[in-house]
Structure 1
Amino acid sequence: MRQLTSELRHKLDQLGTGTVQETAEQLRHLGQSGEYILIPSLLRLMDDDSLVIRQAAEQAVARLIEECPVYELVWLNEHVREWRPSPVIWKRVVEREVHKIDQASTIRLSMLTMHWSGYIREAAVRRMIREDESYSFPYLLLRLNDWVPEIRQLARAALERKLKPEHAKLWMENIMLVERLRICGRDSFESFIESVYHLLRQKECRFVLHNARVSPEPSIRQFAFRISLEAEGTDTRMIMEQALRDENPAIRRWAAQRVDRMLSGQKLREALFGMQLDSVPSIRREGLAVLATMYPDDAKAIIMDRLLDSNLPVRDTARRYAKRWMNVSYAEWYLDVIWGDDQHHLAAAISGLGETGDKADAEVLYEYAKHPSIAVRKAVIRGLMRLDASSYGTHFVDLLKSPQPGISREACRALMHHPYLIQPDVMADLLSDPDALPHVVRNVLRIISSMSKWNQVGLLLLQLPAARHEWVKQAIHRQLYNWARYPNRSYGGRLSAAERERLHKLLSLCGHELDGDLLHRLEWLMQ
């Protein structure tokens, strides 16, 4: 989330401008929004003079905390400290908060563990440890990386006392905060992380791992699958089959990369065949490679079928293993499919011919340039780009203007690989055309970004004053900024006097369109 809508931002600006009851009602609505990014802005009202507002603010923060994912507490921990009192009163504020810490509500205590003052954080952590409630778990884990050593030691000692099977559910619910410790640098956490893993591997925690593998949170599921394979008395087959059926592609991909090491025999064979039905190409590719290696006879039909897969890496993998059976070249095989009756795989066959054919085959592809299927026309563009781009530059330029964004984007990619095929005046006309479609203008700017550095800046400076739409000017300005901000070796060649004079003239014509820093940077680079 992390970004407020304009409506919620307006409500936040209006907060506290009305009566006490109106402010309390506003807080109630904000609490119901589910936007936990509001929490830092609402904390100040938890110290309001009005009891009604204080209670409404605490209730709103409590509701928003319920909507905040555990790992987002890391973000919250950093932003709660954005507001601080003036140095004149900060000592008085600290003394007041520490004095009232025993009367603080649960939600207030949770927020005080993230306070800007180390004295207050320490007092809040001590009370949490004393009360020993389950809600304190994530807040203590955050304090493991506190910049005050005493607070780190308090939190660590309290958490190490909870390294018992009866607390396994809490550890699993907050495991992403444990994983985060790997990138925290204020202490050494390797032994602590390993002790948590050791706990979760124990057979007493088997039921917790089982529930975690069906958690609604993908990151917890992925961790649970990983640690389950290392747990005592684990059923590897069941876990791998469950992971391969998971709705999250990252988990299925993780399982696909390990399936040949974790399964064997008929179970492995069934899993590999099932992976060929997956919608994720990388999973199909992993399964195909293992299937072709371990069960080559069973894999023959699938390999031949995967020669017409919609994904290039999958087709490449299939071609690597199919050559032992092929009696003709791949180009001839794809031609037979193209000229056959299988229209369902026409786009894949055209793509395959573009990948395996030669220059003469480009004429065959061009016959399908006006096919009604967008997928076929896109495959034709990719094939022509590989086989004989220089002969079809006019075709790419015409398709760049297509009202269909996908076709225009494919033509853009072809021209980015071969920018010499489109003339600068053609790009200038498209950028200045008031009727040019937005996706066409964006694609032209992408093509300009693939040209040599000095040609880029010349075209961009030429088009900046002529741009008809404000968003086009902004896009050109952003591209000029990136051009100047990230120089590379393309600047190594010294400009001729004529080229430098031309660029300076263009820069003077649109200098009023550029901010001072960018203008000076461009002038300096031209020198």
Structure 2
Amino acid sequence: MKHLKDWLQRLNSRPAPDNYWESYRHHEALEVLADCKGEGDWLTLSSHHNGFVREVAVRKLSELPSPEALAALLERVNDWVPQVRQLANAGVQRYLVPEHTPALLHALQPLMALAERQRADHRETLAAARTVLQGAEVRDAVQAAFLVQHGKSARFLFDLLLEASDEPVSLLGKALAHREMTVRQMAVSACQSLPAEQAVPLLQLALATPGASVRVKAMHALLSRLDEPREMLRDALLDASPAVRNLARWAAPRWQLDAGEVLAKRLDAALPKSKREWLGVLGLASELEVSLDECWRAAALRSPMASVRLAALVSLSDEHLSEQLAMQDDPADKVFAKACECLGRQPWDALEAELDRRLDRDWQHLPDHRRAALMALRPRWQQLAYLLRRLDSEVQQRDYWLAWIANWCQQQYLMVDPTTAPAERRKLLAQVAELQDNGALPPDCVTRLA
């Protein structure tokens, strides 16, 4: 507290400044600092808008070493007041020793942020921090922190560990199992600078990791290092990722490997048990335009995994109308939407009876977005024909259907319908006109449809 008391005494002993704002800031600092007690207050005050307050807070935090204090000091190293910057920088220098490695690891985010801040030159501070974190005596602690970090922090620690490592194989093995995909990508890139006997096992390990971009990079590297990559390509042709499959299909002819034969052999085996297996088989079949037999189609469309059902639906041709119609009952919205997209390519006369039946059965229970999607499968005038038919057949719900028809008419603009015959259009328009003349519909319905 000695610095605070001395500072307050000096501030109180100064003659009152002539400048109003300077005087205001002095008095504000005195009031704010009078109630300051523990470290938590100093951490908060280190970002106060008053420069006098920040200066005192930085002085106090420099006397109270802790990971939190270091993080606050690193923020102030880029302060807009030169005196505060100098004090904060002096405080940070005390942490740039191996004993304070835990604090440096705690304050990684503000430390890395210095590289992008240009109010002062922070290169020496960053270089000194990297040197400390690369020391042999703290290697285990830094590596342990690297394994649990994510995002930019994980990449930063991997980069400095790799730079300081004389034998990087162990580190690269850990990096290839890291939860951060960008770290795994960096590790694959680093593997390519190793001798083949060290790189190949690591790259093969990368092929089993999540993240298609990682597997693609590893495959690219292995294709130039393996004398016999056929087994790898066979597995890649049935990978769940389209990017991996595409690379494998591109490379397969060079090694006299036929993707169609690989698929046929897999289709002769047992049904897949995992989502990744299903997606690989269904994806390759779709890309090669191979139609699956009924057993495989039925199993895929009944899968408990929505992504598998979606992939199976995508692989269906337009000939499989009954399966496309059945998938309209799928509980997953993505599968339902894809089924509607597929049905949108079918001729209207093939859909009419089944769509009428489904709408009659499920109208009241369908969510609004599904009801709207099913109605959108109908040509415009056929939407009106359906609503008028329900109005005629359900007299007890007349008001409900009149409200639907009125709302539907209000939403129409430039009716485009190449399917409905002109005679049927005139008949439907006459029905709407009669309802409008009787006052059952708003007066502008016919105008919107004509």
Inter-partner Cα distance in structure 2 for 1:241 and 1:333: 31
Inter-partner Cα distance in structure 1 for 2:345 and 2:150: 46
Aligned partners of 1:112 and 1:124 also within 8 Å: yes
Q: Does 1:308 align with 2:242?
A: no
SS in 1 for 2:239: coil
Of 165, 180, 186, the residue aligned with 1:254 is 186
Q: How does 1:386-397 map to 2 (within 5 A)?
A: 396=324
Match of 1:271 in 2: 202
SS in 1 for 2:329: coil
Q: How does 1:356-435 map to 2 (within 5 A)?
A: 356-357=288-289, 361-362=290-291, 364=292, 368-371=296-299, 372-373=302-303, 377-384=309-316, 396=324, 399=327, 401-405=328-332, 408-413=333-338, 433-435=363-365
Aligned partners of 2:330 and 2:336 also within 8 Å: no
| Deviation of the 1:394 alpha carbon | 7.8
Match of 2:269 in 1: 341
Inter-partner Cα distance in structure 2 for 1:418 and 1:137: 62
Cα RMSD between the aligned structures?
4.2
SS in 2 for 1:257: helix
| Deviation of the 1:126 alpha carbon | 1.8
Inter-partner Cα distance in structure 2 for 1:422 and 1:181: 63
Matched residue type, 1:402:
D
| Deviation of the 1:106 alpha carbon | 1.6
SS in 1 for 2:240: coil
CA deviation digits over 1:216-237, x for unaligned, max 9?
Answer: 4335554322211112x53212
Match of 2:115 in 1: 182
Structure 1 residues without counterparts, runs of 5 or longer:
1-88, 449-467, 469-495, 500-527
Of 166, 175, 178, the residue aligned with 1:243 is 175
Aligned partners of 1:292 and 1:303 also within 8 Å: no
Match of 1:158 in 2: 91
Aligned partners of 2:204 and 2:218 also within 8 Å: yes
Q: Does 1:148 align with 2:75?
A: no
In 2 relative to 1, CA 289–100 (structure 1 residues): closer, same or farther, beyond 3 Å?
Answer: same
In 2 relative to 1, CA 90–395 (structure 1 residues): closer, same or farther, beyond 3 Å?
Answer: farther
Inter-partner Cα distance in structure 2 for 1:312 and 1:256: 20
Aligned partners of 2:71 and 2:110 also within 8 Å: yes
CA deviation digits over 1:121-159, x for unaligned, max 9?
Answer: 221112222455554111111222334343233212322
Match of 2:444 in 1: none
The TM-score normalised by the length of structure 2 is 0.63
| Deviation of the 1:243 alpha carbon | 1.7
Matched residue type, 1:355:
E
Structure 2 residues without counterparts, runs of 5 or longer:
1-23, 377-399, 401-412, 417-450
Inter-partner Cα distance in structure 2 for 1:306 and 1:497: 50
Of 255, 262, 283, the residue aligned with 1:351 is 283
Q: Does 1:293 align with 2:224?
A: yes
Inter-partner Cα distance in structure 1 for 2:99 and 2:280: 55
- The size of the alignment, in residue pairs, is 345
Of 202, 219, 229, the residue aligned with 2:162 is 229
Match of 2:39 in 1: 106
Aligned partners of 2:70 and 2:95 also within 8 Å: no
Q: Does 1:96 align with 2:31?
A: yes
Select between 113-122 and 182-191 the one with higher mean Cα deviation: 182-191
SS in 1 for 2:209: coil
SS in 2 for 1:163: coil
Inter-partner Cα distance in structure 2 for 1:365 and 1:92: 84
| Deviation of the 1:351 alpha carbon | 2.0
| Deviation of the 1:110 alpha carbon | 1.6
Q: Does 1:317 align with 2:247?
A: yes
Inter-partner Cα distance in structure 2 for 1:208 and 1:94: 41
Aligned partners of 1:415 and 1:421 also within 8 Å: no
Inter-partner Cα distance in structure 1 for 2:167 and 2:133: 15
Aligned partners of 2:26 and 2:52 also within 8 Å: no
Match of 1:17 in 2: none
Of 117, 126, 129, the residue aligned with 1:193 is 126
Instruction: Give aligned-pair identity as a percent.
Output: 20
Aligned partners of 2:78 and 2:117 also within 8 Å: yes
Inter-partner Cα distance in structure 1 for 2:315 and 2:414: 42
In 2 relative to 1, CA 433–124 (structure 1 residues): closer, same or farther, beyond 3 Å?
Answer: farther
In 2 relative to 1, CA 198–291 (structure 1 residues): closer, same or farther, beyond 3 Å?
Answer: same
| Deviation of the 1:438 alpha carbon | 7.5
In 2 relative to 1, CA 211–292 (structure 1 residues): closer, same or farther, beyond 3 Å?
Answer: same
Matched residue type, 2:77:
L
| Deviation of the 1:201 alpha carbon | 3.3
Matched residue type, 2:263:
Y
Of 138, 149, 155, the residue aligned with 2:71 is 138
Aligned partners of 1:256 and 1:283 also within 8 Å: yes
Inter-partner Cα distance in structure 2 for 1:312 and 1:265: 28
Aligned partners of 1:368 and 1:377 also within 8 Å: no
Aligned partners of 1:369 and 1:380 also within 8 Å: yes
In 2 relative to 1, CA 133–319 (structure 1 residues): closer, same or farther, beyond 3 Å?
Answer: closer
Matched residue type, 1:301:
E
CA deviation digits over 1:93-116, x for unaligned, max 9?
Answer: 532223455xx2122222221334
Aligned partners of 2:363 and 2:371 also within 8 Å: no
